[in-house]
Amino acid sequence: MRLSARTLLLLTLPPLLWAGNAVVGRLMVGSVPPLTLNFLRWLLAAALLLPLGWRVLRRGAEVRARWPYLLLTGTLGVGMYNALQYLALVSSTPLNVTLIASSMPVWMLLVGALFWREHPRPRQWLGAALSLSGVLCVLARGDVHALAQVRFVRGDLYVVVAIVAWAFYSWLLARPPASMRGAQRPGWHWSEALLLQVLFGLLGAGAAAGAEQLAGTHAVRWDSPWTLAALLYVALGPALLAYRCWGLGVATAGPALAAFFSNLTPLFAALMSAAVLGELPHWYHGAAFALIVAGIAVSQRRG
């Protein structure tokens, strides 16, 4: 398929917002416990969605008929994905997290082949290799020897689980069960569908945050003005806006192609770090961008 300008925007905006989310998540270490941060983020997102989607709560029969799908997507996309990323940032480095997350296209292709019988074509594997090379170029800062210095810790495993969960979540959006498509598809507004997904996801996110508090983690530092600002950002940008755009982009382009755009996240994160540190972009940023774009172009090219 040929990507339109609208689809390109829908799939590029989420990685940009998620790059900011990674930066904020790292900055919040010590101020807000990771699982509590995820719960507060989505609790605030639900409050922001409520004025738009509250009517769906009056359609109990429709919701009860589809609760397994809503619970599964809510748990994967809301309860697990970002919670595991925030948890990973406590013990792992941003370099490791982005390095492992760069394997997203490969996991997306594997999940699609094993569970949805969407067998990847050679050009998709080639596109995955090109896109992954672009990410490695940024992470290595143009020096392949830098990758040999990477040491993996427990948090890295959390990232692997997170990206596998996101792969399943994306495929469930693109290939929903019969109750969510065709003549049986409910006429929910996007805000209503996302609100239900968030509310079901909050069940798992709330349980995880409660367990974290019972385990004796530190309290939230509400005395810092950055805490509320960080929560507002992660709820409005990486949560509501990014999830809405990602859902539309995946529905249009498919999860396998959309996964290649997720590799823009570490590139955007590197550029944000450069801006914060006052450093100008280096040659490897441009090379990485070219490789990632080449991977996207090759993967969506007609045979």
Q: Is the pLDDT of residue 99 over 80?
A: no
Cα 82 from Cα 94, distance rounded (Å): 14
Q: Which residue has the higher pLDDT, 185 or 148?
A: 185
247 SS3 class: helix
- Other Cβ atoms less than 10 A from the Cβ of 181: the count is 10
Q: Is the pLDDT of residue 303 over 60?
A: no
Domain range for 183 = 5-300
Average pLDDT along the chain = 85
Range 129-134 average pLDDT: 78
Q: Is the pLDDT of residue 25 over 90?
A: no
User: Mind listing the pLDDT tens digit for each residue in 274-292?
Assistant: 776 565 567 776 777 777 7
Overall number of domains in the chain: 1
Range 228-237 average pLDDT: 93
Contacts for 283 with CB less than 8 Å, ≥ 6 apart: 142
Query: According to the model, what pLDDT value does residue 256 have?
Result: 76
DSSP-derived letter for residue 222 is T
Q: Is the pLDDT of residue 175 over 70?
A: yes
User: Mind listing the pLDDT tens digit for each residue in 2-15?
Assistant: 678 898 899 999 98
Query: According to the model, what pLDDT value does residue 64 have?
Result: 94
Q: Is the pLDDT of residue 95 over 70?
A: no
23-37, 219-233, 264-278: least confidently modelled range? 264-278
Q: Is the pLDDT of residue 170 over 70?
A: yes
Query: According to the model, what pLDDT value does residue 300 have?
Result: 65
Q: Which residue has the higher pLDDT, 224 or 204?
A: 204
44-48, 74-78, 88-92, 290-294: least confidently modelled range? 290-294
Beta carbons of 131 and 71 less than 8 angstroms apart: no
- Other Cβ atoms less than 10 A from the Cβ of 242: the count is 20
pTM more than 0.95: no
Cα 98 from Cα 93, distance rounded (Å): 9
Query: According to the model, what pLDDT value does residue 58 have?
Result: 93
Query: According to the model, what pLDDT value does residue 48 have?
Result: 94
Confidence of residue 231 (pLDDT cuts 50, 70, 90): very high
Range 68-87 average pLDDT: 93
Phi, psi torsion values for 93, nearest 5 degrees: -95, 155
Q: Is the pLDDT of residue 139 over 80?
A: no
Query: According to the model, what pLDDT value does residue 227 have?
Result: 92
Q: Is the pLDDT of residue 136 over 80?
A: no
Query: According to the model, what pLDDT value does residue 302 have?
Result: 56
Q: Is the pLDDT of residue 43 over 70?
A: yes
Cα 149 from Cα 259, distance rounded (Å): 27
Q: Is the pLDDT of residue 69 over 90?
A: yes
